[in-house]
């Protein structure tokens, strides 16, 4: 019999919500069971509990970590002001892995704290940069690696160029650009 993994979901309605499906992705895996969800917004929590097939709901993720023994958590909010505290709390609670919405955090100091806590607790972290796994980019990476299309000399990338321009576009979409630049370099 396959191992069933206990999953916790951290959301924050009206403060980044549940990211880009980081809450519902677990429903695609038969050996993953979402057993708990935390959201400090009562309406958002109620909707998440329903959307995720009725796991136990918590108004505070710290309380959830005290009550639940979880294998993995999704830290879903797109707003980054809570990412550091959520990740540190998850690692200190003994989870095995964290699936984190991008961008990771606000500062390098926060990143260092998050990494140190996760390394100390032997927690694996995956940041949701799924764009790099699109078939087209995988093929480009292979062609670059094989030397079939030369080497990258310059990157020109653009955001949505709409009302989200400026810092919001940089935080929300720029993280993909930085990830792809590093990935294809």
CATH at 120: 3.40.50.720
Residue bearing tokens 């990412």: 83
Say yes or no: 18 and 76 in one domain.
Answer: yes
Say yes or no: 55 and 115 in one domain.
Answer: yes
- Domain limits for position 98: 5-127
Residue bearing tokens 């980019």: 137
Say yes or no: 107 and 153 in one domain.
Answer: no
At 157, the pLDDT band (50, 70, 90 cuts) reads confident
At 1, the pLDDT band (50, 70, 90 cuts) reads low
Report percent pLDDT > 70 for the chain. 97
**Of 106, 127, 148, which residue constitutes the final position of a domain?**
127
- In this predicted structure, the answer to whether residue 103 has a pLDDT above a threshold of 70 is yes
**Among 41-55, 145-159, 166-180, which range has the highest average pLDDT?**
41-55
Q: List Cβ neighbours of 155 (8 Å cut-off, separation of 6 or more).
A: 177, 181
Say yes or no: 43 and 121 in one domain.
Answer: yes
Say yes or no: 149 and 68 in one domain.
Answer: no
Per-residue pLDDT of 158-176, as tens digits, reads: 777 777 667 777 777 778 8
Evaluate whether 81 touches 106 at the Cβ level (below 8 Å). Answer: yes
| Arithmetic mean of pLDDT, 34-50 | 97
| Arithmetic mean of pLDDT, 31-49 | 97
Say yes or no: 123 and 160 in one domain.
Answer: no
Say yes or no: 172 and 95 in one domain.
Answer: no
Say yes or no: 123 and 136 in one domain.
Answer: no
Q: Where are the alpha helices (DSSP H) in the chain?
A: 42-51, 61-67, 83-92, 108-120, 135-145, 167-169, 175-184
Say yes or no: 62 and 153 in one domain.
Answer: no
**Of 127, 144, 168, which residue constitutes the final position of a domain?**
127
Give the chain's mean pLDDT.
91
Per-residue pLDDT of 71-101, as tens digits, reads: 999 999 988 899 999 999 999 999 999 999 9
Evaluate whether 137 touches 110 at the Cβ level (below 8 Å). Answer: no
pLDDT of residue 79: 86
Say yes or no: 26 and 109 in one domain.
Answer: yes
Q: In Å, how far from its chain's centre is CA 104?
A: 8
Look at 9-13, 25-29, 128-132, 172-176 and tell me which has the smallest mean pLDDT.
Answer: 172-176
Say yes or no: 141 and 121 in one domain.
Answer: no
First to last CA, the chain: 43
| Arithmetic mean of pLDDT, 36-54 | 96
Say yes or no: 105 and 42 in one domain.
Answer: yes
pLDDT of residue 164: 66
Residue of 184 and 112 predicted with greater confidence: 112
- Count the domains in the chain: 2
Side by side, which strands form the sheet with 56-58? 56-58, 32-38, 5-10, 72-75, 97-100, 124-127
């Amino acid at each position: 019999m396959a191992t069933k993994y206990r999953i916790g979901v951290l959301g924050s309605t009206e403060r980044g919500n549940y990211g880009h499906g980081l809450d519902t992705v677990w429903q695609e895996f038969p050996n993953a069971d979402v057993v708990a969800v935390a959201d400090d917004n009562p309406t958002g929590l109620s909707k998440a509990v329903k959307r995720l097939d009725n796991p136990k709901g918590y108004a505070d993720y710290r309380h959830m970590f005290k009550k639940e023994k979880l294998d993995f958590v999704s830290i879903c909010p797109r707003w980054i002001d809570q990412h550091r505290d959520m990740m540190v709390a998850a690692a200190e609670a003994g989870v095995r892995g964290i699936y984190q919405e991008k961008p990771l955090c606000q500062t390098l100091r926060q990143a260092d704290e998050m990494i140190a806590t996760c390394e100390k607790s032997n927690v694996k972290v995956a940041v949701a940069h799924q764009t790099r796994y699109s078939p087209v980019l995988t093929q480009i990476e292979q062609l670059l690696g094989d030397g079939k299309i030369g080497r990258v000399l310059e990157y020109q990338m653009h955001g949505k160029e709409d009302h989200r321009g400026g810092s919001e576009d940089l935080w929300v979409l720029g993280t993909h650009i930085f990830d792809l630049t590093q990935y294809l370099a």
